[in-house]
């Protein structure tokens, strides 16, 4: 089990590095989108290559951070029932979900997407749009992204089993005990309270 936990830490480190690096592609997508819109407005020029590059960057962010998102416990879960369970029961439910859903689906998609990428790579498939980009880099993102998700799921499974055996902390607990949804609700409430307070000061 110690060797498996060491493997889990290695997988988490890889997903952490990739996830943090890929988040910068969001900024790149914003810059490309803004530059493309500005050039189109000022010079009446545009290119399908720039539009497709935005899609490629978005696809890279979505696919390559899937494992990182699982590592951070930020994937959407149906918590209506699980919140009523004890921590150990929640972890057991998580193990079932990994074995029955995440791993089988991710492995199948990873397996089936590889020949699609190879076909595009061998034939140097090009975009059907005029001036568009080559297709194989975008198609390569699919097997790589799901491979990272499979690795993250295996790591998560190891930590779940380790927790049940008393060898590691609860993998369902995030560093911040407040969920993203709760943080958003708190932020909305705070902004609304500040606006109400400012309105009262303006109209005593």
Could you report the per-residue pLDDT of 147-171, keeping only the tens digit for each?
Answer: 999 999 999 999 999 999 888 888 8
Angle between helices 136-164 and 48-64 (to 10 degrees): 10
Number of domains in the chain: 1
The dihedral formed by the CA atoms of 60, 61, 65 and 66, expressed in degrees to the nearest 10:
-80
Bridge partners, 126 (sequence order): 134
For 23-51, write each residue's pLDDT tens digit. Answer: 999 999 999 889 888 888 888 777 888 88
Statement: residue 64 has pLDDT above 90: yes
Residue 187 belongs to some domain of the structure: yes
Residue 23 belongs to some domain of the structure: yes
Selection from 89-93, 105-109, 177-181 with the highest mean pLDDT = 105-109
Give residue 56's pLDDT: 93
Statement: residue 66 has pLDDT above 70: yes
Statement: residue 176 has pLDDT above 70: no
> Rounded CA gap, 132 and 47, in Å?
8
Residue 7 belongs to some domain of the structure: yes
Structure letter (DSSP) for residue 128:
S
End-to-end CA distance of the chain: 66
Give residue 134's pLDDT: 92
Average pLDDT of the residues in 83-91: 82
Query: Measured on CA atoms in the order 75, 80, 85, 89, is the torsion positive or negative?
Result: negative
Average pLDDT of the residues in 57-63: 93
Contact (Cβ atoms closer than 8 angstroms) between residue 172 and residue 93: no
Give residue 184's pLDDT: 63
Residue 37 belongs to some domain of the structure: yes
Average pLDDT of the residues in 177-201: 69
Please give the structure tokens belonging to residue 120: 């595009």
> Domain range holding 188?
2-198
Please give the structure tokens belonging to residue 141: 């993102």
Residue 77 belongs to some domain of the structure: yes
Residue 204 belongs to some domain of the structure: no
Give residue 127's pLDDT: 86
Residue 61 belongs to some domain of the structure: yes
Contact (Cβ atoms closer than 8 angstroms) between residue 146 and residue 104: no
List of long-range contacts for 78-87, beta carbons under 8 Å, 24+ apart:
87/170, 87/172
Statement: residue 85 has pLDDT above 60: yes
Q: How confident is the model at residue 80 (pLDDT cuts 50, 70, 90)?
A: low
């Amino acid at each position: 089990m110690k060797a498996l936990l060491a493997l889990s830490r290695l997988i988490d480190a890889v997903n952490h590095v990739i996830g943090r690096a890929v988040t910068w592609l969001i900024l790149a997508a914003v810059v490309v989108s803004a530059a493309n819109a500005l050039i189109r407005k000022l010079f009446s020029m545009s290119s399908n290559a720039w539009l497709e590059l935005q899609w490629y960057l978005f696809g890279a962010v979505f696919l390559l951070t899937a494992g990182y998102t699982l590592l951070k416990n930020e994937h959407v879960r149906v918590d209506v029932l699980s919140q009523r369970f004890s921590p150990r029961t929640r972890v057991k439910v998580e193990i079932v979900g990994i074995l029955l859903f995440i791993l089988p689906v991710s492995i199948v998609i990873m397996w089936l997407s590889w020949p699609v990428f190879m076909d595009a790579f061998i034939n140097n498939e090009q975009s059907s749009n005029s001036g568009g980009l080559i297709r194989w880099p975008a198609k390569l993102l699919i097997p790589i992204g799901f491979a990272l998700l499979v690795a993250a799921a295996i790591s998560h499974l190891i930590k779940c089993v380790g927790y049940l055996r008393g060898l590691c902390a609860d993998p369902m607990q995030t560093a911040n005990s407040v969920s993203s949804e709760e943080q958003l609700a708190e932020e909305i409430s705070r902004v609304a309270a500040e606006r109400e307070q400012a309105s009262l000061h303006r109209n005593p």
